């Protein structure tokens, strides 16, 4: 099984509107990450752009539609499409989410939460086995941003992820913004979450922006909106994690209200500076 192998550098989530700027000169980014589903058409500009990026950069393919946390079987057509994308572009890493997005035949287009129970654990591990077998590679599983909890949950999320890693051999994609968002939303301490997180298996980190609202009782509710710069408390948590585990591939995600390329590049360079400090300290 081919391991996930991104360089311990800062990368950027690729947006087609940045292609012209990116293509002008070699960019100081360690890798680009793309959403797999955008490259499942037969041809056209998406493939032309990704082929061009592939020539010069390390590539991470990030799925958003496989519905690994679903109670129903994986969509085999979609798994085959993922395999085609991976076979064609040979990315250094493939990742997906601890979430579900399809129910019956309806695709809900959001990363929906699941209870953490023996039953969901077994199902998630089955699905990851299936993905890793089909793709012939290790996949990374990302911790979700969640807004509510389930009465039936019997596992802490960190214990659930630890067990998934042990049973399936997958790696982890630690989204530090999701940790901050979910911890705030559940009134828990993000540092404690990170202390329990199976960090030895982290192969990539995600950083992104969030927005703020209020819940039913007026408590702070953070939304994983990916429409702002990375917030200061998330940078601080990130620096702590990197200090603890050393440099690791780090992605800046900015999916809505996307800024001009130089702004995104500067965010990546800020992450790169933190990575370099930790490398020097090691």
Partner 1 sequence: MSTMQQRFAAGLMKPESALPEGLTSWNCRQPKVRYDVYRNNVMVSLRRALASRFPAAEMIVGEDFFAAMADIFICEHPPRSPLLFLYGDDFPDFAAAFPPAQSVPYLADVMRLEIGRGRAYHAADVAPLDPARLAAVAPDDLAAVRFTLHPSATVLRSAFPVVTIWAMNAGEAPVAPISDWTPEDALVIRPHLTVEVLRLPPAGAVFLDALAAGGPLADAAEAGAAAHPDFDLTATLACALSGGAFSTIQTQPGDQP
For partner 1, the binding residues (CB under 8 A) are 37-38, 40-48, 64-67, 70-71, 75, 78, 81, 100-110, 112-115, 117, 119-120, 123, 147-152, 185-188, 214-217, 219, 221, 223
- Smallest gap from Cβ 75 to partner 1, in A, equals 7
56 vs 119, beta carbon nearer partner 1: 119
Sole residue written with tokens 């500076």: 273
Please, what is the Cα angle at 216 between 210 and 220, to 5 degrees?
35
In degrees, rounded to 5, the angle at the alpha carbon of residue 205 between the alpha carbons of residues 257 and 123 is 100
**What is the C-alpha separation between 40 and 80, in angstroms, rounded?**
10
Distance CA 220, CA 48 (A): 43
Q: How far is the CB of 236 from partner 1 (least distance, A)?
A: 23
Q: What is the rounded CA–CA span in Å between residue 141 and residue 203?
A: 10
CB of 213 to partner 1, least distance (A): 8
Cβ proximity to partner 1, 117 vs 228, nearer residue: 117
In this complex, which beta carbon is closest to partner 1, that of residue 2 or of residue 167? 167
What is the Cα–Cα distance from 168 to 196, expressed in whole angstroms? Answer: 19
Report, in Å, the least distance between residue 58 CB and partner 1.
Answer: 25
Strands 140-142, 171-175: pairing is parallel
Nearer Cβ to partner 1 (34/248): 34
Cβ proximity to partner 1: between 191 and 221 the closer is 221
Give the nearest distance from C-beta 28 to partner 1 in angstroms. Answer: 27
């Amino acid at each position: 099984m081919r391991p996930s192998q991104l360089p311990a550098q800062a990368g950027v989530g690729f947006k087609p509107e940045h292609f012209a700027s990116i293509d002008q000169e070699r960019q100081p980014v360690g890798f680009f990450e793309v959403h797999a589903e955008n490259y499942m058409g037969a041809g056209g500009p998406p493939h032309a752009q990704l082929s061009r990026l592939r020539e010069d950069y390390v590539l991470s393919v990030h799925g958003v539609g496989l519905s690994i946390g679903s109670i129903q079987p994986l969509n085999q057509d979609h798994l085959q499409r993922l395999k085609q994308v991976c076979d064609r572009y040979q990315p250094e890493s493939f990742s997906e989410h601890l979430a579900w997005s399809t129910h019956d035949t309806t695709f809900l287009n959001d990363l929906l939460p699941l209870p953490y129970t023996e039953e969901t654990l077994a199902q998630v591990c089955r699905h990851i086995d299936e993905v890793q077998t089909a793709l012939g590679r290790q996949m990374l599983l990302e911790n979700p941003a969640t807004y509510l909890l389930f009465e039936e949950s019997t596992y802490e999320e960190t214990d659930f992820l630890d067990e998934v890693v042990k049973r399936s051999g997958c790696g982890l994609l630690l989204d530090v913004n999701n940790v901050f968002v979910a911890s705030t939303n559940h009134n828990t301490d993000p540092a404690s979450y990170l202390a329990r997180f199976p960090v030895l298996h982290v192969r990539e980190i995600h950083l992104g922006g969030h927005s703020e609202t209020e819940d039913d009782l007026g408590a702070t509710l953070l939304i994983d909106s990916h429409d702002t710069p990375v917030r200061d408390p998330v940078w601080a948590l990130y620096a702590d994690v990197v200090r603890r585990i050393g440099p690791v591939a780090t992605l800046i995600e900015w999916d809505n209200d996307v800024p001009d390329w130089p702004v995104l590049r500067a965010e990546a360079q800020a992450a790169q500076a933190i990575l370099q400090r930790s490398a020097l300290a090691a």
